[in-house]
Structure 1
Amino acid sequence: MDNLSYFLNDPLIVKLAKLFIWLFVIIVLIGYLRKVIKKRIDNTAVRYKAQKGIEIIGYLLIIFLILIAITVENIKDYTIIIGFFTAGITFTLQELILSIAGSFYIFFVRVYKPGDRIEINGIKGDVIDIDSIYTTLMEIGEWVSSDNYSGRIIKISNAFVFKGPIKNYSMDFPFVWDEIDILVAYGSDVELAKELIMKEAQDRLTDYTKNSVAKWKEMVEHYYIDNAKIDPNIAITLTDNWIVLNLRYITDYRYRRSTKNELFQSIQQGILDTHGKVVLASSTLQLLKIPEVEVRLKT
């Protein structure tokens, strides 16, 4: 009996007994909370995340208690072990911590907001939601051309705001410059072609040009940036096959595709109405010499 009493009063045995009791309580509590969550939450995704969260918290508590039981002898050691534990948690959950920090950065610095069109981590889309961990985008591009929605919803970690550039199409200047090339054949009336292209551009882009002027003035005042030409303009390039008339213009970032389509249609019709004075170019093949062919007939 004396040996048993000595064994039970051993400080190490007492410490281990307390540790096992606490571990048992935590494990039982994890199982109980999982059952409660399973009964109370109908949504499968939310239930899964809640159960996983309970498990992670429970396991972290178990690791914390084991570390304390093994190494802690006085209050000073408590401070040391808490420091090591905190460092370990920070390293393990660094992506989560960065995501939460990124959400604060997004809201306070106004990197982007719901409704903006952005490109981040090589993915382009419209921001439809921002939470504490993820930014949700309605994807643009991929297998569809131009600025059309692909139909996929993409969640990007907020931590990416610290890892690379963020391209915002609509933050301070909701307009973009775009270009189209009109190819006309040599011998066409180039001045007439320039006139009709410029006329169609001015008729269809007047509102965009007018609205963008005020916004661009704000940009020049707010940022260290040179002034730029807002009105549509044409540049000419001569090639071996045709004359390229490059029209550069400004448009709303949301209507870039539709604006380009309207311009192409109206310019094409305008060129057809010139009755041959301006001709659209196409690839041609010119034969300079027909090779000689020697034919021998056997008799």
Structure 2
Amino acid sequence: MEQIKMWFDENPIVYSIFKYLLIVAAVLIAVQFLRKALKRNIPNTAIRYKSQKGIEILGYFVIIILSISYFTGNIKDFTVAIGLFSAGLAFTLQELILSIVGSLYIFIVKVYTPGDRIEINGIKGDVIDVDSIYTTMMEIGQWVDSDNYSGRIVKLSNAFVFKGPIYNYSQDFPFIWDQFDLPIRYGSDMELAKSIIVKIASETLSEYTKASKMQWEDIVKKYYIEDAQVEPTLAIALTDNWAQFNLRYIVDYKRRRSIKHLLNYSIFKAIEQTNGKVVLASSTLEIIKIPQLKVDVNKE
């Protein structure tokens, strides 16, 4: 011990660094201890999660304050050395530092929270965790059609919040507009077809129309945006082969696939019950006239 003490006395800079690392380690151990204590004693998942994240952020804040106080108040000759060290460390760990800053930005600005469905850096999924470095998502899409989980859990650096757009499907307005086309054969009762589609859409989507209308009023008050029509709308376009009915409607962002299935099935069954007054079209080839062929079997 005496030799170690003498060695530290002969190398004050090393002693200062060692002492600083011990302080940082003590703070990190205290943070982990408090996180585990909160995990054991708080039964509510949401409150426990937010409390743990709050303790983690507080720990980083304490380390920053202690570092500033330690290096500016107790070390004089070490200022230049620590400046060069910090610059090199910042350059080497710039992605890590940006990720930590990104986590603070996410929590303060509330860019997204666990439970939100987002798309960032070309990856779409539901946010299941946000820590000091990574955002963890349950991936949606890729080789799976529509908005179904692929089964992969994706960890994405928080630094990406500064590098590109973030699409949030659920924040402020948890509804999206969707649409699909219905080809109706020429000669069908167009008014009957229109009434069938609008009636089924209005009945199926009445719950979402009412809820989205209330939330859209809050969006208009909060942002500089014009009012929008949330009721189902139908547009008709004439093509070479059929009359194309385009149904546009609003739906909960988590029920896009199931509602589209329900609308298609209900409309299909209703059209079948019209006894041929309305017929769905398909790509066909119509032969107008077959040329006559004359074959002379007697001719040599």
Q: What range describes the TM-score normalised by the shorter chain of this pair?
A: 0.7 to 0.9
Q: Percent of counterpart pairs with the same letter? A: 62
User: Any idea what SS the aligned residue of 1:229 has?
Assistant: coil
Alignment RMSD, CA only? 2.3
Residue 124 (structure 1) aligns with: 124
Alignment of 1:195-274 (within 5 A): 195-274=195-274
Residue 284 (structure 1) aligns with: 284
Alpha-carbon distance between aligned partners in 2 of 1:199 and 1:171, rounded to the nearest angstrom? 30
User: Any idea what SS the aligned residue of 2:255 has?
Assistant: helix
Residue 185 (structure 2) aligns with: 185
> Offset at 1:264?
0.3
Alpha-carbon distance between aligned partners in 2 of 1:239 and 1:188, rounded to the nearest angstrom? 15
Alpha-carbon distance between aligned partners in 2 of 1:94 and 1:294, rounded to the nearest angstrom? 85
> Offset at 1:286?
1.9
- Which of structures 1 and 2 has the bigger CA Rg? 1
2:163 aligned with 1:169: no
Alpha-carbon distance between aligned partners in 2 of 1:114 and 1:94, rounded to the nearest angstrom? 25
With over 3 angstroms needed to count, the CA separation of the structure-2 counterparts of 1:85 and 1:293, relative to structure 1, is farther
What amino acid maps onto 2:106 in structure 1? I
Alignment of 1:88-127 (within 5 A): 88-127=88-127
Alpha-carbon distance between aligned partners in 2 of 1:116 and 1:291, rounded to the nearest angstrom? 64
Alpha-carbon distance between aligned partners in 1 of 2:227 and 2:242, rounded to the nearest angstrom? 33
What amino acid maps onto 1:158 in structure 2? N
Aligned length: 231
> Offset at 1:292?
6.5
Alpha-carbon distance between aligned partners in 2 of 1:109 and 1:296, rounded to the nearest angstrom? 88
What amino acid maps onto 1:145 in structure 2? D
What amino acid maps onto 2:133 in structure 1? I
With over 3 angstroms needed to count, the CA separation of the structure-2 counterparts of 1:269 and 1:91, relative to structure 1, is same
> Offset at 1:83?
1.6
What amino acid maps onto 2:196 in structure 1? L
> Offset at 1:291?
5.4
2:135 aligned with 1:135: yes
Residue 147 (structure 1) aligns with: 147
Alpha-carbon distance between aligned partners in 2 of 1:278 and 1:292, rounded to the nearest angstrom? 36
Alpha-carbon distance between aligned partners in 1 of 2:292 and 2:95, rounded to the nearest angstrom? 73
- 221-230 or 287-296, larger mean C-alpha shift: 287-296
> Offset at 1:180?
1.4
Alpha-carbon distance between aligned partners in 1 of 2:149 and 2:232, rounded to the nearest angstrom? 28
Alpha-carbon distance between aligned partners in 1 of 2:116 and 2:240, rounded to the nearest angstrom? 43
With over 3 angstroms needed to count, the CA separation of the structure-2 counterparts of 1:82 and 1:245, relative to structure 1, is same
User: Any idea what SS the aligned residue of 1:126 has?
Assistant: strand
Alpha-carbon distance between aligned partners in 2 of 1:262 and 1:289, rounded to the nearest angstrom? 42
Q: Which whole-Å deviations, capped at 9, do the CAs of 1:265-291 have from their partners, x for residues lacking one? A: 000011011110000000010224435
What amino acid maps onto 1:268 in structure 2? F
> Offset at 1:102?
0.5
Alpha-carbon distance between aligned partners in 2 of 1:195 and 1:178, rounded to the nearest angstrom? 20
> Offset at 1:213?
0.7
> Offset at 1:145?
0.2
User: Any idea what SS the aligned residue of 2:183 has?
Assistant: strand
With over 3 angstroms needed to count, the CA separation of the structure-2 counterparts of 1:296 and 1:161, relative to structure 1, is farther
Alpha-carbon distance between aligned partners in 1 of 2:229 and 2:269, rounded to the nearest angstrom? 27
User: Any idea what SS the aligned residue of 1:170 has?
Assistant: coil
Residue 64 (structure 1) aligns with: none
What amino acid maps onto 1:260 in structure 2? K
Alpha-carbon distance between aligned partners in 1 of 2:142 and 2:219, rounded to the nearest angstrom? 31
Structure 1, unmatched stretches of 5+, are 1-14, 27-74
User: Any idea what SS the aligned residue of 1:100 has?
Assistant: helix
For normalisation by structure 2, the TM-score amounts to: 0.73
User: Any idea what SS the aligned residue of 2:282 has?
Assistant: coil
User: Any idea what SS the aligned residue of 1:86 has?
Assistant: helix
Q: Which whole-Å deviations, capped at 9, do the CAs of 1:79-133 have from their partners, x for residues lacking one? A: 3332222111001000000000000000010000000000000000000011000
User: Any idea what SS the aligned residue of 1:136 has?
Assistant: strand
What amino acid maps onto 1:119 in structure 2? E
